[in-house]
Amino acid sequence: MPLAIGLTALREMRASAALPAAGAWDATPTEMFSSGAATVTIQFSYTRGGAGGAFSFALETSIYSVVANVPAGASEWSNGAAFETGVVVAGADTASLVQQEVTTYTSQVAAAETFVFGPIELGGDIERIRINARESGVVLTPGTLQIECQFS
């Protein structure tokens, strides 16, 4: 079946496997090239390891196509950010808040749960993305997680 104009096929970013033990982040999250993509939509499939299971993830982006292009002192990867605008009042400066963002999903049932996150704006300027994940619910019995993404 042909894809809609501007969409790529669903691509596996993380094969279905247990999350690391003890709440540790994935040691080597898979990175994907996203050059020229305007958006990415991410599909997560999570099966908890026990009641109260949850996982956390951080979308990380890079404006560098390869690590060799990263200037000395610069960071290769940047976390997504949450932004809240301040209240605008005439005649006064506005203070807004920005903070790196980690998102947590808590399971509702023992069976696998799948949800879609996005689309996330990449603007065509992001060269690579990766998603770092960890068990954040019952860290002694980590669940399994699969991540797929689609660029447009």
pLDDT in tens, 92-103: 999 998 889 999
For residues 140 and 121, the answer to whether their CB atoms sit within 8 Å is: no
The pTM score is 0.86
- For residues 45-73, average pLDDT: 95
- Closest listed residue to residue 19, CA positions, set 41, 42, 47: 47
- Percent share of the chain, pLDDT over 70: 95
- pLDDT score of 2: 47
Burial degree of 123 (CB within 10 A; 0-12, 13-18, 19+): exposed
- pLDDT score of 11: 93
- Closest listed residue to residue 23, CA positions, set 112, 132, 116, 100: 132
Residues 6+ apart with CB under 8 A from 139: 21, 22, 23
Measured CA distances, 20 to 12, 109, 118 (Å): 18, 21, 25
Domain 12-66+80-151 has CATH 2.60.120: yes
